[in-house]
Structure 1
Amino acid sequence: MILVHTPNPKEVSAYLELFRAALPERHFTSLEQAELADVRHLVAWGLPDGLLARLPRLESLFALGAGVDKLLSRPDLPPGLPVYRLLDGGMAAQMTEYIRYGVLGYQRNMDIYRRQQAAGQWRMLAPRLPADVSVGILGLGEIGAAAARALVHDGYRVSGWSRSPKHLHHVHSLHGESGLDKLLETSDVVACVLPSTPQTRGLLNGEKLSLMRPGAMLINAGRGDLLDQDALLALLGNGHIRCAQLDVFAEEPLPASHPLWRHPAVAVTPHIAAITLRQQAVEQIAAGLRRLAEGGEAEGRVERAQGY
C-alpha cells in the first residue's frame, strides 16, 4: 500500500488520480482511507505530527519537493528510513525562467528604470550586451546546472559554485571557500539555488555579501536561511549591492511590516520560483517505485549528512 498525503485534500485527490493512472497495478490511498499498518511507501509533503510512528511497515518516503530540510529536521523521522527527493519535477525549467528574468532585467537596467519611474525621471542608460554581464550560480545540482546552461546559451559569461568540483561545458566551475569568494567578487549577478543544509545556512552573511562586486545584483531562490537579510538591507542602503530579487525568506510568509517589501531596489515574490508540477513529479516517483519493486534503487535518495 502506498500512502499519498499533503495538507490539501483536493491536491491529494489529484495526485491519487495521476498515480493510479501511472501505476494501475499498485494500491494508492489517502490518509483517511489507509490501513496504516499496511503502508509500505509514503509520498508526502507536510506530514502531520505522529503519522510516521503509526506506519510500522514503512520502507521509503518520497518527498513531493526538491528541498527536504524541514523533513530531515523532524525528530520522529526514523533514522534508517530511505528518503527520496524530487530531482526536477518540472522545477528546473521554472527556476531557469526565474533567473533569466532577473538577469535580463539587470542587463537592461529595468530595476533602475522602475526607480526612475517612481521619481518621474526620464533618463536613458547605455545598453549592455549579454556578453558584458557575468553571472554566478550558487549550486550546480540538477536545477542550478540547467540554469547555468541556459544562461550560457543566452550569451552570458557564467560561473558556478558547488561543494565539490563540477564540470559543465562553458561554465567556469568553482568550489570550496576560495571558489565562493572568487565567484562573489567577479559576478555582476549572483543567483543562489542552494538547498538548506548545515553547511549552507547563513552562507550569505554580511562578510560574504560585502565581497560582491559593487553594483551587483543578488537573486535568492534557494532557501531563506542562507541569507542574512539585515546585512543585505545594509548593503542595498549604501549602494554596494544595486538590487535584489528574492523568492525565499527566513520567515514565510514575509511579515507585512518587513522593510524588504517596501525597498525600491528589491523585488519580492512569494516562493514561486519553482513549484512542483504534479505530472512530472508523479512520473519521477512512479519510476522510483518501480525500481524499488524490482530490487533496485530509486533516483534522488537523500544523503542525510549532507542534507540533500
Structure 2
Amino acid sequence: MRTILFSAPPARWPQYEVPLRAALAKAGIAARLVNATEHPERVDYIVYAPNGGLSDFTPFTGCRAVLSLWAGVEGIVGNPTLTQPLCRMVDAGLEEGMREWVAGHVLRHHLGMDAHIVNPTHDWAPIAPPLARDRKVAVLGLGALGQVAAGALVGLGFDVLGWSRTPRSLDGIACHHGDEGLVEVLTRAEIVVLLLPLTAQTENLIDTERLAWMPRGTVLINPGRGALIDDDALLAALASGRIGHATLDVFRTEPLPAEHPFWAHPKVTVTPHIASETRPESAARVIVENIRRVEADEPLLHLVDRARGY
C-alpha cells in the first residue's frame, strides 16, 4: 500500500480529501492518504501546494514524485532539496476557468462595456466598437492555458497573435517567437494577454521599453504571474496614456497590499487571483493519473523541466 502525503495549507485538506480518495478508489490504487506524518521516509508521493509548511524534501527518501496543485511552480522548482520528479497542475478545470476569465475581460475592453455600466454623465454616445475580426489581440505564452485562451478568442472572431519563447504552430493564430517576434506582436496588438510562466527570462518582461512598443491606448490583461510586469513602468505607462487600462489578476505580493497604488488607480482593475482556480475534483483526477503512471512505469504528465523552470 502506498502512502500519499497531502502537504498544503490546512484549509485545503477538507476540500481535497474526499475527491482524492474517490479518484484513488476509481483507479484501483490502494493508498494511505495523510496530511501529516512522522515517517517521511515511508511517503511514496507528495501532493504539494505552497505555504503548507514543507520546504525540505530531504527526509522523503522514498518519494517517487511531487505533484503540485498549482500550475505555477516558480516557488519550488529551484529548491535544492527537491530531487524527486516534479509535476505541475494542468487540468480541465484550470483550462476552462482561464478560457472564461480571459474571454470575459477581452470582450469587456473590446466592447467598451465600462462606459455603459458606469455612466455618471448620462452620455448618449452610440459609438459601436469594431467587430472582433478587426481587433488584434495578443496572447503571450502558448502553453496549455495560453492555447485554450487564444483558441477561445479565435472562436469569438478576434484576430489573434501568439508569442512564445520557442516556435509554435496553432490553427487560426499567427504565432511568433523570439525577440523579433515579440516586437512584431507588441507593436500591433490593441489588447495584450499575459499567460507566461515566471522564469528568469520572463521576469519584468513587460518593462518600460516593451510598454513603449505598444500602440497608444493598448489594454494589458495579466492572469499569468505578477512579476511578468514592472509595476513602476506600468504606472508610468498608464499615466502617459500609452496603456489605456490594465486588468490584473496576479501580483508580486498577494494579497495585494492595501496601500498599493493599483487599488485606487482609475485605469486599473484588480481581481483577487481568481482567473483560474484549481478545482479539487478535476485536480484530484490529474494527481491520481500521475500516481497510476508511476506505478505502471509510464511517463508522467506535465513533468517540469528544471532547466526551463516550468
> Any conservation in 2 of the 1:221–1:246 contact (CA below 8 Å)?
yes
- Cα distance in 2 for partners of 1:294, 1:77 equals 23
Partner SS, residue 90 of structure 1: helix
The residue type paired with residue 265 of structure 1 is K
Matches for 1:244-255 after TM superposition, within 5 Å: 244-255=246-257
Q: Which residue of 2 aligns with 1:37?
A: 41
**Mean CA deviation greater in 164-173 or 32-41:** 32-41
**Aligned equivalent of 1:138:** 140
CA contact (8 A) 1:88 1:143 kept: no
- 8 Å contact 2:7–2:54 — kept in the other structure? no
Percent of aligned pairs sharing the same letter = 37
TM superposition shift of 1:195: 0.9
Q: Does 1:95 align with 2:98?
A: yes
Residue 57 of structure 2 is aligned to residue 52 of structure 1: yes
Offset, 1:77: 2.3
Normalising to structure 1: TM-score of the pair? Answer: 0.93
For 1:1-308, what aligned pairs fall within 5 Å after superposition?
1-9=3-11, 11-24=12-25, 25-33=29-37, 35-46=39-50, 47-49=52-54, 51-78=56-83, 81-113=84-116, 117=119, 120=121, 122-124=123-125, 126-127=127-128, 128-308=130-310
Deviation for aligned residue 1:34: 6.0
- Provide the rounded CA distance (Å) in 1 between the counterparts of 2:126 and 2:48: 49
Q: 2:6, 2:36 within 8 Å by CA — same for their partners in 1?
A: no
Aligned equivalents of 2:80 and 2:246: distance in 1? 35
CA distance in 2, matches of 1:111, 1:160: 26
* Counterpart-to-counterpart distance in 1, 2:300 and 2:82: 19
Superposed displacement of residue 13, structure 1: 3.2
Q: CA shift at 1:175, angstroms?
A: 0.2
How many residue pairs match? The answer is: 303
**Structure 1: how far apart are the matches of 2:180 and 2:189?**
14
Q: 1:206 to 1:121 in 2, by over 3 A?
A: farther
TM-score by length of 2: 0.93
Map Cα deviations across residues 175-229 of structure 1 (whole Å, 9 max, x no partner): 0001111111111100001111111111111100111111110001110111011
Q: Which 5+ residue runs of structure 1 have no aligned equivalent?
A: none
Question: In 2, are the aligned partners of 1:68 and 1:307 still within 8 Å (CA)?
Answer: yes
SS of aligned partner of 2:6: strand
Query: Does the aligned pair in 1 maintain the 2:245–2:268 contact within 8 Å?
Result: yes
RMSD between superposed Cα atoms in Å: 1.7
- Aligned partners of 1:248, 1:28: CA distance in 2, in Å? 35
